Structure 1
Amino acid sequence: MITKFIEKHPKWTFVILIGVNVAWYLLDQAIKAGPKISNQVAGIFTPIITAIITGFFAWSQLNLGKEQKALAAQQAKTAHSKLKLDLFDKRYELFKSVLEHFSYGFDLPLDLNEYLCLTFSEETEYTVATDRKEFITPICERAYQKIEEIKFYNRTNKMAREVDLSKIKFLFNDEIHDILFDFSKQAFDLVTDEYEFLHHSLISYRNSYIGGKSSTFDIQGILTKRSKLAAQIKGTITEKIRPFLHVPE
Structure 2
Amino acid sequence: MSTKIDRPQTVLISGAAGGLGSAVARRFAADGARVALSDINAAQVAELANELGGIALPADGTDRGAVREVVEDAASAFGGLEAVIGVQGAQVKSTTNPSSNDGWDKSLAVNLNGQFYFAAEAIPHLLKSQGSIVLVSSSAGILSGPPGALGYTAAKHGVVGLARWLAREYGPRGIRTNCITPGWIRTPLGDGGMEYIAERDGITLDEAYERTTALVPMRRAAHPGEIASVCAFLVSSDASMVNGHVLVADGGAAVVDSSTAFFN
* Band of TM-score, shorter chain: under 0.3
Greater radius of gyration (CA): 1
Q: TM-score, normalised by structure 2?
A: 0.26
Q: Which has the higher helix share?
A: 1
Q: TM-score, normalised by structure 1?
A: 0.27
Higher relative contact order (CA 8 A, sep 6+): 1
Q: Which has the higher strand share?
A: 2
